Amino acid sequence: MTLGYPNRKRQLQKLIQRLGLSNQAPIPWDLLDLALTHPTLSAEANYEQLEFVGDSVVRLVASELLFEVYPHCPVGEFAAIRSILVSDRTLAEIADYYGMSQFLLVAGSAMRDKAGEESRLADCFEAVLATLYLGTHDLTLIRPWLDPHFRQRAAEIIRDPARHNYKAALQEWTQSHHKILPEYKVQQNRQIHNDEERFTAEVWLKGRKLGEGTGRSIKSAEQAAAQVAFLSLVDTQNLTTLQH
Amino acid sequence: MTLGYPNRKRQLQKLIQRLGLSNQAPIPWDLLDLALTHPTLSAEANYEQLEFVGDSVVRLVASELLFEVYPHCPVGEFAAIRSILVSDRTLAEIADYYGMSQFLLVAGSAMRDKAGEESRLADCFEAVLATLYLGTHDLTLIRPWLDPHFRQRAAEIIRDPARHNYKAALQEWTQSHHKILPEYKVQQNRQIHNDEERFTAEVWLKGRKLGEGTGRSIKSAEQAAAQVAFLSLVDTQNLTTLQH
């Protein structure tokens, strides 16, 4: 093992211990060093390739967990929950729980970019997951400590009525992908056939209408609109680009 | 094991043998039955949940393979190649190679939907991958037979100048996601500073300009435009929805 800094391996061992893993586990230490090296420090040897693999690893962890814990959940809900679990926001929160930023080698210039902190943390977190995956080629070094975080969040999304809502899910998604919140336009309908049509809400993002829904209250109309928008967003068949 | 049809297990064993696997392998046969049951046959017990997991499995196979075979490939290229490998078109081709459609239980009405055949095959292929993954919780029942397909395709994309092009990649992507081809608009430039600016090409999809590029020939300008479009499409940070 040829790590750049004399203290680096001790540092990395500390992180591995924080994850509840043994330093005797088959950790590819050189890759772990790379996983915690930001592109500002080295344009060639940094976490980018590992992040690419880690993005698939974290998606698999979330999918397998949801399939095990909620085997009868409709796939639309699965996709909605997974999209929150693998969002930059969630991953950065978990990385932060383990104080991962203190192990990340990064140039001072990037450190001053506070806005990029969340995606930086999420990126290196994914790279760390790739490293642990590549140590064993399965999820045995990952699920023991990551599952509890995902389980708790999935349970919160499903159980807590205040969180089990598409407005919150849509907001998470637009913030993590576009750094902005969706806008709602609501109108009260005069001629209605039933109470569910009292209000019509539209949800907009960047000048584009994402969905529309009706309800007996403003809040429920907004939820209905957000559900249409969110489920169409998470259906990967519909994903395409918005030019920035 | 309680499979619906008396011959079903023999059928499924035949598929497993075609994949080059042993029937003694830890195959979850009930799940394999489910993986090859279309939603038209049962609204509750079908391949949808497994397909959700399989989508992550196939992504991991592609990511890990690319990381192993092309460790120094720029991540933009990685993402471009992965997007082709995990596309409905590629997965349906591989499923077809193993004659998977003959094992799929599907209602006659859906069979007549020829346009949906590719996505149907890709979906059940992903569900089969999920099943094999869940048998061992790693990729040992998958990579031995899937790797050669992916390796060959990745090598073709990277090596063959006729295939290593962003026009082809963009076309694969728009066909698999939108069932249509992108359109190119090219103009010859009169006042140019260097030969690379002789032609300007724009690439459009559904009334939206996806990219623009210049070149010394029409073909190279189109390639440049397609590259801009494709790399922005595969950058998941830029993914969002187009309302249909």
Q: What one-letter code names the amino acid at A33?
A: D
Please return the burial class of B19, using the count of CB atoms within 10 Å of its CB with bins 0-12, 13-18 and 19+: middle
pLDDT at position B161, please? 47
Of B55, B67, B239, the CB nearest to A241: B239
Q: Tokens 């939603």 sit at which residue?
A: B39
Q: What is the DSSP string of B133-144?
A: HHHHTBSTTTHH
Query: Using CA atoms, how far apart are residues B237 and B208, in angstroms rounded to an integer?
Result: 18
* Residue A239 to residue B237, Cβ atoms within 8 A: no
User: Is B210 at the interface with chain A, CB within 8 A?
Assistant: yes
Please indicate whether residue B213 or residue B193 has the higher confidence score (pLDDT): B213
Apex A170 CA angle, A167 and A172, nearest 5? 110
From chain B, the residues in CB contact with A240 under 8 A are: 177-178, 205, 233, 239-242
Nearest CA in chain A to B43: A74
Query: Using CA atoms, how far apart are residues A135 and A30, in angstroms rounded to an integer?
Result: 11
Query: Using CA atoms, how far apart are residues A9 and B22, in angstroms rounded to an integer?
Result: 43
pLDDT of residue B121 exceeding 70, the answer is yes
Please return the burial class of B12, using the count of CB atoms within 10 Å of its CB with bins 0-12, 13-18 and 19+: buried
Task: Mutate one of B34, B173, B237, B241 to test the A interface: name it (highest A CB count within 10 A).
Answer: B241
User: Is A207 at the interface with chain B, CB within 8 A?
Assistant: no
User: Is A243 at the interface with chain B, CB within 8 A?
Assistant: yes
- Residues with Cβ within 8 Å of residue A163, at least 6 apart in sequence: A156, A157
Query: Using CA atoms, how far apart are residues A53 and A31, in angstroms rounded to an integer?
Result: 12
Binding-site residues of B: 51, 123, 126
Q: Going from the N-terminus, what domains does chain B have, and what CATH number goes with each?
A: 8-159 (1.10.1520.10), 166-238 (3.30.160.20)
pLDDT of residue A114 exceeding 80, the answer is no
Q: Dump pLDDT digits (tens) for B170-205.
A: 887 787 777 788 999 998 888 777 777 888 999 998
Query: Using CA atoms, how far apart are residues A58 and A85, in angstroms rounded to an integer?
Result: 9
User: Is A64 at the interface with chain B, CB within 8 A?
Assistant: yes
Interval B200-223 mean pLDDT: 87
User: Is B79 at the interface with chain A, CB within 8 A?
Assistant: yes
Interval B124-153 mean pLDDT: 97
**Residue numbers of B between 7 and 46 with CB closer than 8 Å to A:** none
Interval B72-96 mean pLDDT: 88
pLDDT at position A105, please? 92
Of B51, B229, B241, the CB nearest to A238: B241
* Residue A240 to residue B236, Cβ atoms within 8 A: no
User: Is A59 at the interface with chain B, CB within 8 A?
Assistant: yes
| Cross-strand bridge partners of residue A215 | A199
Interval A110-123 mean pLDDT: 83
pLDDT at position A244, please? 26
Tokens in use for A59? 């998606």
Residue A65: closest CA among B117, B134, B119: B134
* Residue B57 to residue A55, Cβ atoms within 8 A: no
* Residue A60 to residue B63, Cβ atoms within 8 A: no
From chain A, the residues in CB contact with B64 under 8 A are: 53, 56, 134, 137
Residue A61: closest CA among A5, A138, A136: A138
pLDDT of residue A173 exceeding 80, the answer is no
Sign of torsion over alpha carbons B111, B117, B120, B126: positive
User: Is A240 at the interface with chain B, CB within 8 A?
Assistant: yes
| Cross-strand bridge partners of residue A241 | B239
Strands (E), B178-230: 183-188, 199-205, 208-215
Residue A232 DSSP code: H
In this structure, the number of other CB atoms found within 10 A of the CB of residue B22 comes to: 10
Please name the residue ranges forming H helices in B36-165: 48-69, 75-85, 88-97, 108-111, 117-136, 143-159
Query: Using CA atoms, how far apart are residues B182 and B237, in angstroms rounded to an integer?
Result: 21
Query: Using CA atoms, how far apart are residues A211 and A46, in angstroms rounded to an integer?
Result: 40
Query: Using CA atoms, how far apart are residues A33 and A105, in angstroms rounded to an integer?
Result: 9
Of B51, B134, B239, the CB nearest to A239: B239
- Give A25 to chain B, closest Cα distance, Å: 18
Binding-site residues of B for Mg(2+): 51, 123, 126
pLDDT of residue A217 exceeding 90, the answer is no
Interval A65-76 mean pLDDT: 88
* Residue B60 to residue A64, Cβ atoms within 8 A: no
User: Is A53 at the interface with chain B, CB within 8 A?
Assistant: yes
pLDDT at position B237, please? 34
Please indicate whether residue A89 or residue A150 has the higher confidence score (pLDDT): A150
Of A59, A79, A239, the CB nearest to B241: A239
Catalytic positions of A, written as ranges: 55, 126
